[in-house]
Amino acid sequence: MAEIVVLEANVRERGGKGAARAIRKAGRVPAVIYGDKQDPILVSFGYQDLAKHINTGRFMSMLVEVHVGGDEVRSIARDIQFDPVRDTIQHVDFLRLGKGARIVVEVACNFLNEDECTGLTRGGSLNVVRYEIELECRATQIPESIDVDLAGLDIGDSVHGSDLTLPEGATLAIDDRDFTVCTIAAPSGGSDADDDAAAAEGEETAGEGEGEEAAGEGEG
């Protein structure tokens, strides 16, 4: 299961761009915790405390236990805003998770058994269409990764969403089509498999964004 990150936060008294700018100058990151039919909480985190987790690249699929004002709030990050020039963290939105909450989260693919993939041993290449899979699952049961087994696949073969073995209680968030995860492409020089891979990439659409605006605090 996904790891749980514990972060210490301070309550913010005021929202808005001016207050958020002052928070950043003090070396902290403004944030908001919303959801679960409760009032939003304006908070801030130490920049380095937050950055070390965001820089892992897995923060959006980690459970975060926020310690604030004597309370422990279970949440998950839903939006991270960065400065467009300096790439510094500007603001984070967290979704509060109630008991038994189910969420949609992106989970990394773990490609297995490349040495047992017929197409790769014949000189083909692995063409990855999706490095992450969107799952709907309980917030307390987010898997670390989804295994994609390449054993026995030949040139021109593909792995689709229906081929994946999902953790108990988890379902694919995309259920209107059997999307492509990866294909085994022919060696350079080309074959129809390359065209199939390109078509597979074309069929994918950008995942829908989630989260809420944070009262205009993101930039400025």
Name the residue type at position 82.
Answer: F
Give mean pLDDT, residues 136-150. Answer: 92
Give mean pLDDT, residues 182-207. Answer: 62
Q: What pLDDT sits at residue 211?
A: 43
- The 3-class SS string of 30-84 reads EEEEEECCEEEEEEEEEHHHHHHHHCCCCHHHCEEEEEECCEEEEEEEEEEEECC
Instruction: Give percent of the chain above pLDDT 90.
Output: 70
Task: Tell me the pLDDT tens digit for each residue of 36-83.
Answer: 999 999 999 999 999 999 998 889 989 999 999 899 999 999 999 999
Domains of the chain and CATH, by start: 4-98 (2.40.240.10), 103-203 (2.170.120.20)
Q: Do β-strands 89-96 and 132-138 pair in parallel, antiparallel, or remain unpaired?
A: unpaired
Is residue 8 pLDDT above 90, yes or no?
A: yes
Helix, strand, or coil (residue 35): strand
Is residue 210 pLDDT above 70, yes or no?
A: no
- Mean pLDDT computed over every residue of the chain: 87
Q: What pLDDT sits at residue 212?
A: 42
Among the listed residues 135, 119, 96, 95, the one whose alpha carbon sits nearest the alpha carbon of residue 2: 135
Q: What pLDDT sits at residue 149?
A: 97
Is residue 121 pLDDT above 80, yes or no?
A: yes
Token pair in block for residue 116:
């047992």
Token pair in block for residue 31:
């944030």
Among the listed residues 142, 41, 140, 39, the one whose alpha carbon sits nearest the alpha carbon of residue 99: 140
Instruction: Give percent of the chain above pLDDT 70.
Output: 84
Q: What are phi and psi of 164, to 5 degrees?
A: -80, 145
- Residue 207 near residue 106 (C-beta atoms within 8 A): yes
171 CB-side CA count, 13 A: 6
Record the pTM. 0.70
Q: What pLDDT sits at residue 79?
A: 96
The CB density around residue 185, as the number of other CB atoms within 10 Å, is 22
Task: Tell me the pLDDT tens digit for each residue of 165-189.
Answer: 998 999 999 999 999 999 999 987 6
